[in-house]
Structure 1
Amino acid sequence: MDSQREIKDRSSWAIGGGTLLGLGMGLVILPYSALGFVGALIAGLGLGLIISAILSTRC
């Protein structure tokens, strides 16, 4: 039963996806502000954590 849950549960992917989204946005902001880069990265991580929490409650 646990192996089936592992295959279907992709909520942990949301954390990586949010981090990569924040990294991409941060690279656009980087020439203008270094703190904006860090802020975008943290915001992407936070968004991924929120999405993963929502997805984990649905299972």
Structure 2
Amino acid sequence: MINDKEDKSNWAIGGGVIIGLGVGFFFLAESALMFVGSILLGLGIGLLITSILSSRN
């Protein structure tokens, strides 16, 4: 069984959202849709990384 203290794959979701948020602030002056899109892209990348990391264990 995986110990929750050792499993840091869930951090990838939060990290992806934070990165998407940071990148989105650069696009906010151009378009609000690009801002939301970058947040969703960061979330999607975080989910992909989480699924890859959890399949390794």
Sort the TM-score into its range (normalised by shorter chain): over 0.9
Q: What percent of counterpart residues are identical?
A: 53
Aligned to 1:51: 49
Greater per-residue helix proportion: 1
Give RMSD over aligned pairs.
1.1
Provide Cα deviations, 1:1-54, integer angstroms capped at 9, x if missing partner: 55xx11111010000000000000000100011100000000000000000000
Aligned to 2:33: 35
Structure with larger Rg:
1
Q: Report how many residues are paired.
A: 57
The whole-number CA distance in structure 2 between the counterparts of 1:7 and 1:42 is 27
Please report the TM-score for the alignment, with normalisation by the length of structure 2. Answer: 0.93
4+ residue segments displaced more than 4 Å:
none
What one-letter code is carried by the residue in structure 2 that aligns with 1:24?
Answer: G
Please report the TM-score for the alignment, with normalisation by the length of structure 1. Answer: 0.90
Aligned to 1:10: 8
Structure 1, unaligned runs of 5 or more: none
